[in-house]
Amino acid sequence: MPLARPLDPVTLAVLKGRLEQIVDEMDATLYRSAFNPIIAEARDACHGLYHAETGATLVQGGKGLPIFVGAMAFAVKAVIDKVAEEAAAGRAVLAPGDVFLFNDPYLGGTHLNDMRLVQPLFRQGRLFCWLASVGHWLDIGGNVPGGFNARATESFQEGVRIPPVRLARAGVIDEDIVAILAANSRVPVSNRGDLAGQLNALDLGEKRLNALLDDYGEATITAAFDAFTARAEALMRDAVAALPDGTFSFEDFLDNDGIVDTPLRIALDLTVAGDRMTLDFSRSSPPCRGPLNIARSTAVACCYVALKHVFPDVPANAGCLAPIDFVIPETTLLGVSAPKPVGGYTETILRVIGVVFGALARAVPERATAGPFGTINALSLAGHRDDGSRFVMFSFYGGGLGGNPESDGLNHANNPISTATIPPVEILEAAYPVMFTQWALRPDSAGAGRHRGGLGAVYEIEVLAKDGADVFLLGERGRFAPFGVGGGLPAALNRFSWQTDDGEASPPLASKVTDVAIRQGRWVRLETPGGGGFGLPHERPPALVARDVRLGYVGREAARALYGVALTEAGEIDAAATAKLREGAEA
C-alpha cells in the first residue's frame, strides 16, 4: 500500500479534482443510461461519497441536484443505523457488494419518487466509505400517476414506502425486491432501467475510487477528506462572522395544503452570534392534512441549499453545516414523521429557501435577492397510448428568478433547489402522446424594480392520445406572489387552466388539481410566475424599460403604470411625459 503523502496545497488540489471527477462521472453514467426523461434530460439525480461511520458528506460533484446533496447524508446514516441494528441482532454482516435501497422520506429521503441506493466500499476487509446514488423515478404507485397527489392525507396515498433493505448481497441482486418494485409501478420498465443506471453508476464509482486509493493510499485520502471538511467549516464560520450580529425575521406563505383552503406560514428567525448562526422555524404553521409537509432532514437539506447560494465559495461537504444550529420542532409542518404526507415537498422547500434568502436580505440588504418564482409546478398527464401501453408524463417547469443588486433576474430559469434542466420539448413530444402548442416567455410576469425579475413562461400542451388523459398538478404561488425587495414589486401569480366543453376552467385551490380528464385534442395551459423585483421601479433607466417593451417583456401600460415611462407610438421614450410621471410618483 502506498505511504501517506504530505498534504501540501498542490496534492490537495489534485485530490479534490480527482474525487469530484469520480462523482461527476457517476452522475454522467446515470444521465446517459436512465430510461425516464426526468433523470436522463432534467438530471433529477445526485451521487456522492460519505463518511464510513457518520454518513457525513465527504465529496459531491458539480452536477447533482442540490437538494439531494443536503439530504443524502441523512440517507446514508439511515443505512449505517440499519447495518448496526442487524449486526447487533446477529441477522447479517455488511459485506463488499452489498447494496441498500430505500425511499423512506422520513429517514433521509425527500419524497417517495426519489429512490436511493447506498453501497459500502471496502479496502482490505475494512469499510472505508460509502457511495450513494439517488434518482427520481417516474411512478412508484399511489393514488396519482407520477406520485404528486395534491389530495393525499397520508403517505400511503402517495406510493409504496420502502425502508432501507438489501437490494444486493455480495453483488447478487435480490430479484424478489425488483419484482415488488415492478408490481407497484404503472411504468415498471422505466423504473427497472433507472435502477440499472444507478447500479452502474455505483459500480463505476467504486472502480474509480479504488484506483485513486491504489495510487495514493487510504491514509492520504482520509487526510484529504478531513482537510476538505475543516476548510468548509472554516470558510462558513468566516462567512457567518462577516454578517452583523442580531436576529432577522422573515416569513412567506404557501397557498394551501390541497385539502383545506387556508394559507400555511413558513416563518424564520435567523440569529447571528459571532461565527455561529441559528435558523429557528418554530413560528411556522403546524403539520397540515395535505402533502405540503416535510421531514426534518429535508428542512435541513434545503437550508443547506439556501446557504450555498448565499455563500457559493464554501465547499459542498458536511463541514459547512458545523456552525449552523437548526430549530425545527415536530409541532411544525417542517419536522413531521410518518405517515404524514410529504409528496409536495418541492413546494415547501422552495418557500423555506425563500425565507432564508429573505432573512439574510434583512441582515445584509446590499446582497439581497428578490423572491424566485418558487414552484416546480409538478404536472402529470397520464393515460394510454393508441397501442394500449400506459404512459405517465411527469415534468417540472421554469419561471423567473428574482432581481438582485447586480442585474435583472433570469428569464425562464429553474428553481434554486436545482441544477436540473427543464426537459426539452422535443424529448417530451417524442416520449409521450402530447404536442406543445405554446412554449414561450410570459409578458408582464416579472416583478418591477430597478432590476426587474426574470419572466415566467407559458406552456400549452395538447393531448394526442385517442382516449385522452388524466391531469394532475401540484403547484404553488397561485395566491402569494414571489416577493420583491428594496422597494421592488412582487411578480405575477401562477395560473393553470384547461379546456372543457364549456370553455376554460381553473382549479378552485389555485395551483392544485386532481382527477381532471381531458379529451383528445384538448389542451392544458400553465402560466408560471416571474421573479420579484429589486429596488424601486422608477429608478430603472427608461432606456431599459423601452427595450423591455420592444422585446415584449413588459406591456406599454405596465411601463407607464409601474415604471413611470411613457412611450411614443413608435416605441421611443417620451422624455417630457416620463419626467412628469416620475415626478408625480416621487411626490
> What is d(CA 434, CA 428) in angstroms, rounded to the nearest whole number?
8
Cα–Cα separations (whole angstroms), residue 355 to 43, 269, 359, 396, 494:
26, 9, 6, 22, 19
Of 294, 263, 269, the C-alpha closest to 283 is: 269
Hey, what's the cell of 315?
465547499
Indicate whether 400 pLDDT > 90. yes
Average pLDDT of the chain to the nearest whole number:
93
Span 234-271, pLDDT tens digits: 999 999 999 999 999 999 999 999 999 999 999 999 99
Cα–Cα separations (whole angstroms), residue 497 to 247, 402, 419, 494, 503:
42, 25, 28, 10, 10
Span 307-318, pLDDT tens digits: 888 888 888 788
pLDDT at 1 (0 to 100): 54
Indicate whether 37 pLDDT > 60. yes
180 and 141 in contact (C-beta within 8 Å)? no
> What is d(CA 266, CA 225) in angstroms, rounded to the nearest whole number?
35
pLDDT at 3 (0 to 100): 57
160 and 184 in contact (C-beta within 8 Å)? yes
Indicate whether 5 pLDDT > 70. no
Sequence-distant (≥ 6) Cβ neighbours of residue 175 within 8 angstroms = none
> What is d(CA 371, CA 481) in angstroms, rounded to the nearest whole number?
9
**Averaged over 359-382, what is the pLDDT?**
92
**Treating both helix axes as pointing N-terminal to C-terminal, what angle do 296-310 and 66-89 enclose, rounded to 10 degrees?**
140
Of 123, 5, 20, the C-alpha closest to 63 is: 20
Looking at residue 370, its amino acid is: A
Span 280-295, pLDDT tens digits: 999 999 999 999 999 9
Helix (H), strand (E) at residue 527: strand 523-527
475 and 528 in contact (C-beta within 8 Å)? no
- State the DSSP string of 478-500: SSSPPPPBTTPPP-PPPEEEEEE
484 and 370 in contact (C-beta within 8 Å)? yes
Mind spelling out the 3-state secondary structure of 220-271?
A: HHHHHHHHHHHHHHHHHHHHHHCCCCEEEEEEEEECCCCCCCCCEEEEEEEE
Looking at residue 549, its amino acid is: V
pLDDT at 505 (0 to 100): 95
> What is d(CA 25, CA 33) in angstroms, rounded to the nearest whole number?
12
| Residue 414 confidence class, pLDDT cut points 50, 70, 90 | confident
- State the DSSP string of 429-458: HHHSSEEEEEEEE-TT-SPPSSBPPPP-EE
Span 86-129, pLDDT tens digits: 999 998 899 999 999 999 999 887 899 999 999 999 999 999 99
**Averaged over 435-442, what is the pLDDT?**
97
- How much is the pTM? 0.93
562 and 537 in contact (C-beta within 8 Å)? yes
**Averaged over 525-553, what is the pLDDT?**
97
**165-169 and 99-102: which strand pairing?**
antiparallel
Of 88, 79, 147, the C-alpha closest to 112 is: 147
Taking only Cα atoms into account, the Rg of the chain, rounded to an integer number of angstroms, comes to 25
377 and 255 in contact (C-beta within 8 Å)? no
**Averaged over 337-353, what is the pLDDT?**
95
**Averaged over 71-100, what is the pLDDT?**
93
Hey, what's the cell of 120?
459500502
Indicate whether 495 pLDDT > 90. yes
Span 142-162, pLDDT tens digits: 999 999 999 999 999 999 999
Q: Cis bond leading into 339, ω under 30°?
A: yes
Counting residues of the chain whose pLDDT is more than 70, the rounded percentage is: 98
| Residue 587 confidence class, pLDDT cut points 50, 70, 90 | very low
